[in-house]
Amino acid sequence: MPIVRRWLIPGRVILSKPQDDIMLEDHIEQRQALNAMFSTGQPPVHLIFDIREMGRVRVPLAAVIRYASYLRHPNFGWAVLYGQSYNRLARLMTDTVGQRFGVKYRMFDFQERAIAFLAQQDASLSASVLLEALSLVEEGPPVWP
């Protein structure tokens, strides 16, 4: 599965981790899964994208915009992305989609900076708890299909 998703903090923080090239089918599946997760979460539900292992995005920008409706979910909070911030295409797509949907997001080089930022935006989250949860899920199976 090119995109692994799981609850990092159940009902509050989702980890999404693309692990290979992203095709249109992956993007559609991502939309369906994230909409379902946002619907079952307690707002605000935040999204962490670990894009360190992401390959090429083989989806036209228009399709990315069309299938990114989960970004308008009423329970959606912040999105933070880390890894590959040097990737101009990833940054262009993120900026375009973020502006189109009015998403609160930031892109970082390093996991620690992304997590610290997210914890600053939501006082109910702790950076140390998030980092510990990330270290625990690195080895485990996804808890959401």
pLDDT digit string, tens, across residues 50-101: 999 888 888 888 888 888 888 899 999 999 999 876 677 778 888 888 888 8
pLDDT digit string, tens, across residues 90-101: 788 888 888 888
Q: Look at residue 145 in the predicted model and tell me its pLDDT.
A: 46
CATH 3.30.750.24 assigned to domain 3-137? The reply is yes
Q: How far is CA 86 from CA 18, 58, 64, 109, 113, in A?
A: 17, 18, 20, 8, 15
pLDDT digit string, tens, across residues 87-140: 777 788 888 888 888 899 999 999 999 999 999 999 999 999 999 999 988 655
The residues spanned by each domain of the chain are: 3-137
